Structure 1
Amino acid sequence: MSGNELMEKPDWVSPPGHTMISLLEQNELTVEDFAERIGRTKGVTQKLLDGKHAIDVQLARQLTDVFGASESFWMAREHDYRASMELPEKVSVTSFEDLISILPLADMKKFGWIENARSRGDKIAQSMEFFGVSTIAQWQGRYENAFRGAAYRRATAYASCEIATTAWLRQGEIETQADEVAKWSPEQLRRELDAFRRLTWYKSPSLFLPKLKEGLARAGVKFAIVRAPKGCSASGAIRILADDTPHIQLSFRYLSDDQFWFSLFHEMGHLLLHFDKMPILENTDLEEEECESEANEFASQVIVPMVYQEELLDLLASKPKIIEFAKKVGVSPGLIVGQLQHAGIIRYNQMQHLKRRYRWVD
């Protein structure tokens, strides 16, 4: 059977990867050759061939370059295959009209994620472009349950909206898609921890954030700070992207240095301790609690190493003592205050002036 016949009369129930495999055989291309041509790892490419990795607009273009079929062919192939699969019993979004009625479009526009759109058609078009999809079935497959694909710290004081969280996660992908990072190395990430601790002394995010991103990139980790839109309760997330790159995302929700750095070290803890358990939110509640507890303990010990923990517990609400201890430990006083408050040694309204506060600039 020729390549053209494959493209004209595909078996729509089978994964699009079956068509790709036939075309690879006809063109005498290996999986490694294919992976190189579409710019994906061998692992991701194998998932694509198995029907476990969705085809988005960008990938459809790359498939067109490799096989010669049109982008619309591959997008239709993907759509019909996903539509043929059994859907979950409860589907909260069944059309783009549903989606735009739930998305926090006002904040997405305010934050510069999308342009202003007045008509329903324009809003739908912008939402499709933002998520990189052409059908609602594709969005469902890739994003409706995206929050389950990321272990994320949720602020219980805020209302939760899964759809808003998927938009927040997607913006994190967009902001880092051009970032170049080394191959993931847990050993390198551990080596960077001391440098990250020193960055806590920097007053301005404009000074420490570039250095932080550079250090994470050396360890093979992408990093984004994305403001949470209305309805998104996440303060941080850790996930593995389609190209097998770890991705840390923070919302900087509480705008204080102790919360920011604790959340960051917490996510690093997940990477170093629970990499093989991703996505964590799909595990049992007990495993979730254990993982969260372990990540919290990791973050606490990065801020105050075990050798200083006993001395921390003896501190009082004394500005000179806290500053002296912070210098000894090697992190900013605000982080020490946060640890003291969390341990119940001082009240949450004490020593707040030692924390650094930040604000968003629109």
Structure 2
Amino acid sequence: MVQHPDYVVPTGDFIKEWMEDEGINAAELARRLGVSRKHVSGLLHGKVPLSHEMALRLESVTNVPARIWNLHETGYREALARRKADEVLTGQYEQAKAFPLRYLREQRLITAAGRDKAGTVRDLLRLFGVASFDSFFSTWEQGAVAYRRSAVGRKDLPALAVWLRVAELSVNDTDLPEYDRGGLEGALPGIRALTVEEPAGAFRTAQSLLRECGVTLVLVPAVPGLGIHGATRWFEGRPLIQLSGLWKSDDQLWFTLFHEIGHVLLHDPKGLYLTDAQDKMEDEANEYAMRLLVPREYEDRLPSRRNLKAVRDLAAELGIAPSIVLGQVQRRTSDYGWGHDLKRKVDLAAMAS
């Protein structure tokens, strides 16, 4: 990150240095420049901007190129503007506190120190590519990106916007193929079979398989309190799926992935689909994931009570992780107090690397 000095040096200070070296006073400089003493006084104290014409006059008098004087003046005026801007940014710090600043620092997306209010606000605005928080909200409410407008009105919009933005910043694959619906449907059996493997390696393989179909899959650690397992929208013309690994178990991660793939295949690409929504499309994506993992003809094979052997046997027959079968049994029976040994913990750091 570019560091800017916290002091302001007027162009007049450099003129004074030259005057001291040459042993001349302000009255003599005014005569040589052909201007009033008042004008020279204004230059020396930074109250009068240095014009390009005056820089050329200074070049003739001092033998210092006009471009050097212009650079001094540009730096001075920029420093003044930056100081004023910092005052404005500091005034916006209370608005910045609505965003998950600690999370952003952990993700190294805000590098300003906690005591640097202006720097914190500046980093946050740069994250979203806006000049102010008013601009941030207007781009979500009225901007050209349709999926953003669907999130307006949520009380957790600042946290949600951060989580979504982190995923977008990770999309830097310039060679990503165009989206291939047929390729995605053809890849699903192979991705489904990955559920039996070690989660970190299997996740990376799933990313590669989806990439070949023009689908980006990223893991973005959950923002504290957000409570969203996954999200899907189209970004730069291709599907973008992000998972949070919120419950840190393999069954939840895989079910959420197939749920999000369901959105890609079933729903309008202009939408934003979040797993905490309660609507018809979320129900459809849930049904899609359940039927893909446990086809309807196997549904009556799901045990109706605690039976680890039946869970393992059905999982082996279906070729999926036992934890996924267990998860469906638990959802059907609302009995979540058993079978925990079948669920593998997800190492988010390993999977995101």
For Structure 1 versus Structure 2, the TM-score category normalised by the shorter chain is: 0.5 to 0.7
- Judged with a 3 Å threshold, the aligned counterparts in structure 2 of structure 1 residues 251 and 358 are, in CA distance, closer, same or farther, namely same
Contact 2:215 2:240 in 1 (8 A): yes
Distance 1:191 1:361 in 2: 29
Contact 1:160 1:232 in 2 (8 A): no
* Larger Rg computed on CA atoms: 2
Residue 100 (structure 1) shift: 1.4
Q: Secondary structure at the match of 2:205?
A: helix
Match of 1:213 in 2: 207
Distance 1:142 1:107 in 2: 23
Higher relative contact order (CA 8 A, sep 6+): 1
Unaligned runs of 5+ in 2: 1-90
Deviations 1:238-272 (A, max 9, x none): 1111x211111111100011111111111111111
Match of 2:292 in 1: 302
1:201 aligns with 2:196: yes
Matches within 5 A, 1:3-152: 96-117=92-113, 118-143=115-140, 149=148
- 1:355 corresponds, among 340, 343, 348, to 343
Code of the residue aligned with 1:213 in structure 2: it is Q
Code of the residue aligned with 1:106 in structure 2: it is R
Distance 1:305 1:175 in 2: 34
Distance 1:297 1:142 in 2: 34
Of all paired residues, the percent bearing the same amino acid is 28
Match of 2:282 in 1: 292
Match of 1:250 in 2: 243
Q: Secondary structure at the match of 1:176?
A: coil
TM-score (norm 1): 0.63
Residue 279 (structure 1) shift: 4.0
TM-score (norm 2): 0.65
- Judged with a 3 Å threshold, the aligned counterparts in structure 2 of structure 1 residues 296 and 151 are, in CA distance, closer, same or farther, namely farther
Distance 1:127 1:226 in 2: 18
Q: Secondary structure at the match of 2:240?
A: strand
Distance 1:268 1:211 in 2: 16
- Judged with a 3 Å threshold, the aligned counterparts in structure 2 of structure 1 residues 273 and 212 are, in CA distance, closer, same or farther, namely same
Q: Secondary structure at the match of 1:238?
A: strand
- 2:157 corresponds, among 162, 166, 171, to 162
- Judged with a 3 Å threshold, the aligned counterparts in structure 2 of structure 1 residues 133 and 266 are, in CA distance, closer, same or farther, namely same
- Judged with a 3 Å threshold, the aligned counterparts in structure 2 of structure 1 residues 279 and 103 are, in CA distance, closer, same or farther, namely closer
Code of the residue aligned with 1:274 in structure 2: it is H
Distance 1:147 1:254 in 2: 29
Deviations 1:101-146 (A, max 9, x none): 2111112111333224231111112112211223434322334698
Q: Secondary structure at the match of 1:248?
A: strand
Contact 2:159 2:226 in 1 (8 A): yes
Code of the residue aligned with 2:186 in structure 1: it is R
Distance 1:103 1:163 in 2: 5
Q: Secondary structure at the match of 1:252?
A: coil
Code of the residue aligned with 2:111 in structure 1: it is E
Distance 1:262 1:319 in 2: 20
- Judged with a 3 Å threshold, the aligned counterparts in structure 2 of structure 1 residues 331 and 202 are, in CA distance, closer, same or farther, namely same
Distance 1:151 1:240 in 2: 13
Unaligned runs of 5+ in 1: 1-94, 153-158
Contact 2:140 2:149 in 1 (8 A): no
Residue 229 (structure 1) shift: 2.0
Deviations 1:265-303 (A, max 9, x none): 11111111113562468xxx9xx6221111110010111
Deviations 1:139-162 (A, max 9, x none): 22334698953989xxxxxx9622
- 2:231 corresponds, among 229, 233, 237, to 237
Distance 1:103 1:127 in 2: 9
Deviations 1:281-333 (A, max 9, x none): 8xxx9xx6221111110010111122322222x46422222112101001100
- Judged with a 3 Å threshold, the aligned counterparts in structure 2 of structure 1 residues 303 and 144 are, in CA distance, closer, same or farther, namely same
Q: Secondary structure at the match of 1:275?
A: coil
Contact 1:186 1:272 in 2 (8 A): yes
Aligned residues: 253
- Judged with a 3 Å threshold, the aligned counterparts in structure 2 of structure 1 residues 214 and 354 are, in CA distance, closer, same or farther, namely same
Contact 2:248 2:346 in 1 (8 A): yes
Distance 1:98 1:144 in 2: 21
